[in-house]
Structure 1
Amino acid sequence: MSSTTDTSGGVTASGRATIAARTLRTDRWWLPPLATFVAFVAWVAYATVRAFMQDFYFVPEYGYLTPFYSPCVSVGCAPEASHFGQFLPDVWWLPYAAVSLPFLLLFRLTCYYYRKAYYRAFWLSPPACAVAEPHARYTGETRFPLILQNAHRYFFYIAAIITLINTYDAVLAFVKPDGGFGLGLGNIVLVANVVLLFGYTLSCHSCRSVVGGRLNHFSKHPLRYRLWTQVSKLNTRHNQFAWATLASLAITDFYVMAVSAGWITDLRIVG
């Protein structure tokens, strides 16, 4: 028996129960999107201030470089922090890490998890499960600017390179200016941040597609199948890595800033 019920209108389609209330949920469904909204706004505000502060980003005594300023390629960067040269002009409106920041932002903005998070928290599309959204029409990600979400895979490649650069910075920080080995709390913070960044990058849906995509028979590609299996396991934790890296980036930057500004002294373990 076929049905002729029109479902093209979604929650307002003919044949559906007419419910005036936006939702029948009685729990505090609005709390998660509100918490996400507050957390995102607070992080973006902090990151924006720090990106344009252009100070307290490097500790020359220990080689600590905040990931917010890596790679530091402005002519205003400290020479010891410019591991990849200096070629951008030193003007107040251009952050020292202007080469990497736009791509990192685009990588996270187009991330599958972050889309869900800010679609709900900022656009209320929808704000929660079983809660009708206030928008009259839904066009998906077929028009500008949301059609740019399809470029996520390309931003993934650039973000992976930047993660490798952050790793290089963290490893280089173990070498003291006089050439000896040094280990302090700052080194541990930098390495922990890099480990979480790798977790976030490797657990990305695009990484999973790159590793195991375009294969018709996994049995003929045992190495790629094994890698795909491991990335798939990481992928189940992608949302945790997304939040953990936001926290680790802010903590790492704040620690480097605090040591650089002289607010605290780095706890030295060796050297």
Structure 2
Amino acid sequence: MTAGPSVAGRAGTRTLRTDRWWLQPAVTVAALLAFVVYATIRAFANAAYYAPPYLSPMYSPCLATNCVPGASDVHLVGDWWGLSPALLVLVFPLGFRLTCYYYRKAYYRSFWASPPACAVAEPHRRYTGETRFPLVLNNAHRYFFYVGLLFNIVLSYDAVLAFRDEHGNWGHAGLGTVVLVVNALLLWTYSLSCHSCRHVIGGRLNHFSRHPIRYRAWTLVSRLNAKHMRYAWLSLFWVAFTDLYVALVASGTITDPRFF
């Protein structure tokens, strides 16, 4: 068995890896950029976001008076707001995503190459971590987590309202109902598998034996946390898909099939 290359022999070498280590960071960049571009276009479109009884998650809750009639009964922002109502709410779920521990790893490696992959040197002269602007804002993740839970409640309420028809009568369901219900479930799964949620449930405890209920909850959340990456991507994709589906129905491009 021959010895591997010495540290001195690797000085100045970017990497000795011969596999396609760059593929995963490239896919991550493409996927995140695609979502950002789509979300930006839809946020400024200010159209086709409400197809009774379906409301796009990118516009929920619709808080401005310039919302489409019927999209919301609560208008906290007056007539002075002339922009898209989505710009009032997207900053909060976006902040939750951007500061998420998994997404930090994803965009650190992909966008900032810090580092782009294991055993691959990063191009930066030094690493300052999250001690300087703007990365220091990532420390606000725990607060965005609480706000994110409030949005999950709102979107769950939207999913319940999706069991109505376009006239407001209950006891109906269509494909859009399934889409909104799945969207709410995936967002709850993503939030409950969050590292901050795991800390809230079981953090600051010296003896789990004295807190059996919190221990069981922490065990469940820990199991979800092991698949946090999967839930992060699934929920991100489904939010965009839900918005697209509502937009297609609202614009008359497709018809929402009714089951009953």
> How would you bin the TM-score normalised by the shorter chain?
over 0.9
Matched with 1:40 is 32
Selected match of 2:132 from 135, 138, 143: 143
Matched with 1:166 is 155
TM-score by length of 1: 0.90
Q: Deviations over 1:183-223 (max 9, x none)?
A: 00000000011110001000000000001111111111111
Offset, 1:114: 0.2
Matched with 1:242 is 232
Offset, 1:91: 5.0
Matched with 2:8 is 17
Counterpart amino acid of residue 216 in structure 1 = N
CA distance in 2, matches of 1:82, 1:186: 18
**Which deviates further from its counterpart, 138-147 or 47-56?**
138-147
**Matches of residues 260-271 of structure 1 in structure 2 within 5 Å?**
260-270=250-260
**Contact 2:63–2:74, Cα closer than 8 Å, also in 1:** yes
Q: Is the aligned partner of 1:58 residue 2:58?
A: no
Matched with 2:3 is none
Q: Is the aligned partner of 1:29 residue 2:18?
A: no
Counterpart amino acid of residue 265 in structure 1 = T
- How has the CA–CA distance of structure 1 residues 53 and 203 changed in structure 2, closer, same or farther, with 3 Å as cutoff? same
Counterpart amino acid of residue 210 in structure 1 = V
CA distance in 1, matches of 2:220, 2:79: 43
CA distance in 1, matches of 2:224, 2:195: 10
**Contact 1:74–1:96, Cα closer than 8 Å, also in 2:** yes
**Contact 1:100–1:162, Cα closer than 8 Å, also in 2:** no
CA distance in 2, matches of 1:195, 1:262: 27
CA distance in 1, matches of 2:35, 2:79: 27
Offset, 1:78: 1.9
- How has the CA–CA distance of structure 1 residues 88 and 246 changed in structure 2, closer, same or farther, with 3 Å as cutoff? farther
Selected match of 2:104 from 92, 99, 115: 115
**Contact 1:124–1:134, Cα closer than 8 Å, also in 2:** yes
Name the SS of the counterpart of 2:70 in structure 1. Answer: helix
Offset, 1:86: 4.5
CA distance in 2, matches of 1:178, 1:250: 25
Selected match of 2:222 from 232, 235, 240: 232
**Contact 2:173–2:258, Cα closer than 8 Å, also in 1:** yes
**Contact 1:71–1:83, Cα closer than 8 Å, also in 2:** no
Counterpart amino acid of residue 8 in structure 2 = A
Matched with 2:184 is 194
CA distance in 2, matches of 1:90, 1:236: 45
Q: Is the aligned partner of 1:131 residue 2:126?
A: no
Counterpart amino acid of residue 84 in structure 1 = V
RMSD: 1.4
Offset, 1:82: 1.1
Runs of 5+ unmatched residues, structure 2: 1-5
Aligned residues: 253
CA distance in 2, matches of 1:122, 1:263: 36
Counterpart amino acid of residue 125 in structure 2 = A
**Matches of residues 248-263 of structure 1 in structure 2 within 5 Å?**
248-263=238-253
Runs of 5+ unmatched residues, structure 1: 1-14
CA distance in 2, matches of 1:90, 1:58: 22
